[in-house]
Structure 1
Amino acid sequence: MSPWQQRPPNASAAGGMGPRGNGTGRAAERGSAVSVAIPLTMMLTGVVGNALAMLLVSRSYRAKGSRRKRSFLLCIGSLALTDMLGQLLTSPIVISVYLSGRPWAAMDPSGRLCDFFGFSMTVFGLCPLLIASAMAVERALAIRAPHWYASHMSPRATERGLAAIWAAGVAFALLPLAGLGRYALQWPGTWCFISTAGGSAFAAAFAALGLLSLVVTGACNLATIEALVSRCRAKASAAHPSSQWGRITMETLIQLLGIMCVLSACWSPLLITMLRMISEHTAEPCRGGSGESQRWELRRECNLSLTAVRLASLNQILDPWVYLLLRKILLRKFCQAASAMSKCSNAECRDRSITLAEEIQRTAA
């Protein structure tokens, strides 16, 4: 998902959409290198981050002591692969349309490219949300039901679950081919997504599934935090209190809260905006209106919608850092802070700087 291009200030907001939604206004001029640098930088950052995450996951998965965390690693790797494919399939199209200096209708008279772009946006928007929910459920089961988790959760079961998520995402995105919903060109004429015109049930279903995924992720993460805090208190009151559990609990709490904040901040604006447009039966709001004040309001509304989609696209870039790449960095910082307070040795701190996922999985089992 990468609709990062925007019309130049002198572009008309009123002439942007045709009957199908194919743009007729021109994109920015070729000399606007600063504008092109934005989506190009975002694409490269997302691809590099997700590729690095998959490399680290692959190395950890092949390690001898990784058997207990393979389900978690499969989810992380699948999320990184999904995000990277979304970047590779959508960003080049956006950049090409912008650099061509031609309207979308001239490049895509049949509308098939628009359908493909909307399909890709839907698949690679919905699947990461569902995978994030699956990861939250996996963590909650590992902490709250360790015995059930050990006997039922296997890499093969995880692979089947991830395949089901992918199949469900693709099947949902293909619904417009059966006449249930449609994809249309969106403001500012360089990307396509689900049309919300006429209170689309397809758009409402996408928004509802997305919000449900956010709720499930938040609920499972909170359940995981509550279980860890309870177990930490139990160990603290035991005859031999464990300071390690207190450290693990604090690190997990911070990371899970960070995951929830990133997901909510990136996706809630788009999903809520879609539901609002559907409930108000907003039909192609970016075509323009009569009167300068009305055009200004429409332009502001369109820019707000574009910002919401950009935030959702940003989630693909942040995912590998939130879930994996920043983990060792954060744990090292936490260890340094703990070292200053407890005056532990550097060697002891280095021993404690292992991945959070491995430590939680080992303790849960």
Structure 2
Amino acid sequence: MLLVSRSYRAKENRRKRSFLLCIGSLALTDLTGQLLTSPIVIAVYLSDRAWTNVDPSGRLCTFFGFSMTVFGLCPLFIASAMAAERTLAIRAPHCYASHMKTRVTKAVLLGIWLAVPAFALLPLAGLGRYALQWPGTWCFISIEGQRPGSALFASAFAGLGLFSLLLTVACNLATIEALVSRCRSKAAASRSSKQWGRIATETLIQLLGIMCVLSACWSPLLVMMLRMTFSRTSFESCKGFSAETQSSELYKECNFFLTAVRLASLNQILDPWVYLLFRKILLQKFCQAASAVSKCSNNEWKERSITLSDEIRRTAA
């Protein structure tokens, strides 16, 4: 977040301020999600995975499920906003320069932060519910339950998540196509266009990194939740497993569901590092290192060719 703040104040990054706002918001959202959920899980594990010892009233479970929903959907929608912003900046630069201001980006981010918590509060209004999940260390959306609309709320969460992922992929593909077309057309290589091309390429690489991290971390959980709602199955029955049932198919599915949730939680840790690792200065150093290795290999190959030619001449003589 300090790195984003410093880049936001730099004069040469005025064209990237909307994108930097999204990056900073993504880092802030991930940090808040980690601070709200991780201490609860650690406390439950320290209590020998007895959730009732930590949360006798059950209200903490509702708060945990609410946090999982909010800080699951918010990063997905912020990533979609980032991808759409870069698509507009590259495919419609004139319209972007005249209409896309930082206040528009702030309004979009504020809308995401208001709409997602409002959606996550639906179980408190009676549509769906949050329940303790196997192995008793976390709470999330329940697919089956006494309250009406549990499956509907779960499928809505999965559908919104998959929609944001597809939107991110579509926007990034459109951005890639625009960049390739610009390179093929060989536009005028002025200083400003070169600078814009470097900025666009750098942000595109960051978007691709975030897109790959989001898809790898969230796709298993979202697809599995949709499959569960259509098949009307629930993993709340995983709570009563014994040693004899550990080879059953349901037990394997419960373990896979737990792995999918851990992957989704890992996304909050990986998102900020994607921005750090794909910065321009690191990319330049990587290119310099690759170029140095390539030159060393070429020089070595040339030396071997010269030595081989000398040996052939001596043999012929």
Normalising by structure 2, report the TM-score: 0.82
The answer to whether the 8 A contact 1:285-1:302 is kept is no
Q: In the alignment, is residue 146 of structure 1 matched against residue 93 of structure 2?
A: yes
Looking at structure 2, the residues matched to 131 and 106 of structure 1 have their Cα atoms a distance apart, in angstroms, of 36
Describe the SS at the equivalent of 2:131.
strand
The answer to whether the 8 A contact 1:184-1:193 is kept is yes
Hey, what does 2:155 align to over in structure 1? 204
Q: In the alignment, is residue 173 of structure 1 matched against residue 116 of structure 2?
A: no
Describe the SS at the equivalent of 1:184.
strand
Corresponding letter in the other structure for 1:98: Y
Q: In the alignment, is residue 307 of structure 1 matched against residue 259 of structure 2?
A: yes
Size of the alignment, in residue pairs?
A: 288
Instruction: Give the % identical residues.
Output: 74
Alignment of 1:315-334 (within 5 A): 315-327=267-279, 328-334=281-287
> Which of 115, 120, 134 matches 2:81?
134
* Comparing 283-292 and 265-274, the one that deviates more: 283-292
> Which of 182, 185, 209 matches 1:234?
185
Q: In the alignment, is residue 296 of structure 1 matched against residue 256 of structure 2?
A: no
Looking at structure 2, the residues matched to 156 and 250 of structure 1 have their Cα atoms a distance apart, in angstroms, of 24
The answer to whether the 8 A contact 2:74-2:116 is kept is yes
Q: In the alignment, is residue 267 of structure 1 matched against residue 228 of structure 2?
A: no
Q: In the alignment, is residue 69 of structure 1 matched against residue 16 of structure 2?
A: yes
Describe the SS at the equivalent of 2:248.
helix
Q: In the alignment, is residue 213 of structure 1 matched against residue 164 of structure 2?
A: yes
The answer to whether the 8 A contact 1:229-1:249 is kept is no
Looking at structure 2, the residues matched to 96 and 128 of structure 1 have their Cα atoms a distance apart, in angstroms, of 25
Describe the SS at the equivalent of 1:143.
helix
Looking at structure 2, the residues matched to 202 and 339 of structure 1 have their Cα atoms a distance apart, in angstroms, of 55
The answer to whether the 8 A contact 1:204-1:275 is kept is yes
Hey, what does 1:287 align to over in structure 2? 239
* Comparing 203-212 and 333-342, the one that deviates more: 333-342
Listed one character per residue, the Cα deviations across residues 113-148 of structure 1 (whole Å, up to 9, x for unaligned) are: 000000000000000000000000000000000011
Which gives a bigger RCO, structure 1 or 2 (Cα 8 Å, sep 6+)?
Answer: 1
Hey, what does 2:229 align to over in structure 1? 278
Alignment of 1:7-156 (within 5 A): 54-101=1-48, 103-156=50-103
Looking at structure 1, the residues matched to 195 and 58 of structure 2 have their Cα atoms a distance apart, in angstroms, of 58
Listed one character per residue, the Cα deviations across residues 129-181 of structure 1 (whole Å, up to 9, x for unaligned) are: 00000000000000000011101111111111100000011101101111011
Listed one character per residue, the Cα deviations across residues 252-300 of structure 1 (whole Å, up to 9, x for unaligned) are: 6655443332211110000011111111111323134799357633322
The answer to whether the 8 A contact 1:232-1:249 is kept is no
When residues 239 and 151 of structure 1 are mapped into structure 2, their CA distance, relative to the original with a 3 A threshold, is: closer
Looking at structure 2, the residues matched to 302 and 129 of structure 1 have their Cα atoms a distance apart, in angstroms, of 24
Corresponding letter in the other structure for 1:148: C
Looking at structure 2, the residues matched to 159 and 249 of structure 1 have their Cα atoms a distance apart, in angstroms, of 21
Describe the SS at the equivalent of 1:193.
strand
Q: CA deviation at 1:322?
A: 1.5
Aligned Cα RMSD in Å?
2.8
Looking at structure 1, the residues matched to 35 and 242 of structure 2 have their Cα atoms a distance apart, in angstroms, of 39
Looking at structure 2, the residues matched to 146 and 245 of structure 1 have their Cα atoms a distance apart, in angstroms, of 10
Segments of 5+ residues of structure 2 without an aligned counterpart are 297-317
Find the structure with the greater CA-based Rg: 2
Segments of 5+ residues of structure 1 without an aligned counterpart are 1-53, 344-365
The answer to whether the 8 A contact 1:232-1:246 is kept is no
Hey, what does 1:22 align to over in structure 2? none
Looking at structure 1, the residues matched to 282 and 204 of structure 2 have their Cα atoms a distance apart, in angstroms, of 16
| Greater share of helix | 2
Hey, what does 1:258 align to over in structure 2? 209
Describe the SS at the equivalent of 1:271.
helix
Q: CA deviation at 1:100?
A: 2.2
Corresponding letter in the other structure for 2:264: A
Q: CA deviation at 1:314?
A: 1.0
